[in-house]
């Protein structure tokens, strides 16, 4: 049943009209860098070091509804660890849903906080300090357009070229 639901959602996204103007803000920068992570209610305290799985460089292609994540220090793709696939934004522009191509996680639903040409911020609930048995906390993940020198090497594009 869940597989049929996900297939239906993906088909609806893929065959729907082009992405809205708000979603196109993701395309205003070819790459985005995580600049800050904070726990709900404590925006002054950056906790990026405790949440390394959500930190890095990301690319978004609203025309194809594709995303890919990269390590910020090396530019290496996180694709093989579930860091690439399809995404969509709900019609009310409140949720950003990721559907990884591979990996143990099937979908990740994130609450959109800010999405414009200078900032992309989402929040979601995760175990505190990303430790499986800890209580859930809501983290806010802030991104800005990446202007650094690290090159990102897409595993998605390489995979497509090798076919």
CATH 2.40.128.540 fits 2-161, yes or no: yes
DSSP lists the bridge partners of residue 110 as 96
* pLDDT of residue 5 exceeding 50: no
Q: How confident is the model at residue 13 (pLDDT cuts 50, 70, 90)?
A: very low
* pLDDT of residue 15 exceeding 60: no
- What's the pLDDT tens digit per position in 85-122? 999 889 888 999 999 999 887 899 999 999 899 999 99
Torsion of CA 110, 112, 113, 115, to 10 degrees: 130
Q: State the chain's mean pLDDT as an integer.
A: 84
**pLDDT higher at 121 or 22:** 121
* pLDDT of residue 63 exceeding 80: yes
């Amino acid at each position: 049943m869940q597989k049929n639901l996900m297939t239906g959602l993906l088909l609806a996204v893929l065959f729907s009209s082009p992405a809205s103007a708000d979603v196109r803000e993701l395309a205003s920068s070819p790459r985005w860098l995580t600049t800050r992570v904070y726990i709900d209610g404590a925006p002054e305290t950056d906790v990026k070091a405790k949440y390394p799985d959500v930190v890095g460089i990301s690319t978004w292609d609203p025309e194809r509804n594709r995303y890919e994540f990269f390590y910020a220090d090396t530019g290496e793709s996180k694709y093989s660890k579930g860091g690439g696939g399809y995404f969509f934004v709900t019609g009310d522009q409140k949720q950003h849903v990721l559907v990884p191509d591979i990996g143990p996680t099937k979908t990740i639903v994130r609450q959109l906080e800010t999405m414009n040409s200078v900032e992309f911020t989402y929040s979601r609930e995760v175990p505190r300090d990303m430790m499986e048995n800890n209580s859930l906390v809501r983290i806010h993940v802030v991104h800005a357009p990446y202007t650094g020198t690290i090159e990102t090497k897409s595993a998605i594009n390489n995979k497509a070229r090798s076919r």
